[in-house]
Amino acid sequence: MRRPLLVTFGMLFICAGCVMPHFAILSDPLSPEEHLELGIAYEKKGEFDNAIKEYEVAAKKRPVAYLYLGNAHFQKNELDKAEKYYKKAIKKEPQNADSYNNLAWLYYAQRKNLDKAESLVLRAMQLNPSKSDTYKDTLEKIRELKNPHR
């Protein structure tokens, strides 16, 4: 059962001369997983800025959120930010094959660092053989770009 998206207020501060009472939010009612899910929902709707906000909160506790941050920035064509987050995802979770593949795809899309892109996708295939077919598509496209007359 999901908790409702309500903000709970812990304390009410009243001060002399204040027009409005001040509230302090003491805790976030959503778990990092729920922020990640909410970010995914926003991303599916094309609301990338909202997705990014949710992923940033999730990333404080869930390193996989850096991969999602990279994806959202890629969708916004903010390729430098996407690259930064994919690299951070690899650093924080070096066993997450998708981060390697997505960084390789970013380089492919930019038509740069193709040797590095190839090694990244090969590493992804090594880390997660069950997704080799998906990663193989990335690898083939990189190799076609590197050697157009093969």
pLDDT in tens, 78-107: 999 999 999 999 999 999 999 999 999 999
Mean pLDDT of the chain: 87
Closest alpha carbon to 108 in 98, 100, 118: 118
Q: Is the pLDDT of residue 63 over 50?
A: yes
Least-confidence region, from 1-10, 53-62, 86-95, 131-140: 1-10
pTM of the model: 0.80
Q: Is the pLDDT of residue 34 over 60?
A: yes
Q: Residue ranges of the domains in the chain?
A: 29-93, 95-150
Please report the pLDDT score of residue 28 as a whole number.
Answer: 78
Confidence at residue 5, expressed as pLDDT on a 0 to 100 scale: 43
Is 60's pLDDT higher than 60?
Answer: yes
pLDDT value of position 96: 97
Question: Residue 25: pLDDT band by 50, 70, 90 thresholds?
Answer: low
The CATH class of 29-93 is mainly alpha
